[in-house]
Amino acid sequence: MSQESDRFGDDLAVKEGRPKLKKPLLYRVILLNDDYTPMEFVVIVLERFFAKPRELAVQIMLHVHQKGAGLCGIYPREVAETKVKQVLEFARENKHPLQCTMEPE
């Protein structure tokens, strides 16, 4: 082995320890009640964008209808932003005033 390769790697240091993984901040996505959006439309929103089974979607929709607001799901920021946008776009396309917002968990 040459002197050159003998020295190879002598000054390498490996930093041990925990990797610096930041936990993503989470956001609640909330549906708001209104007097005009059809109940069936809200159920479809919950099925389509929040992957809720029909029965749960109906329960959440009724909760929003009775209490004024309700939780659709909790997601990292970018996912929550995308879901809010998708819901609002779908509602506007169908001429419904449905509102959807997000708030820090």
Contact footprint for ligand TYC (CB under 6 A): 31-35, 37-39, 42, 61, 64-65, 98
- First vs last Cα of the chain: how many Å apart? 60
Question: At closest approach, how far in Å is the CB of 28 from ligand TYC?
Answer: 14
- Answer positive or negative: Cα dihedral of 94, 73, 71, 44: positive
Least separation in angstroms between residue 67's CB and ligand TYC is 10
Instruction: Say how far apart CA 22 and CA 92 lie, in whole Å.
Output: 36
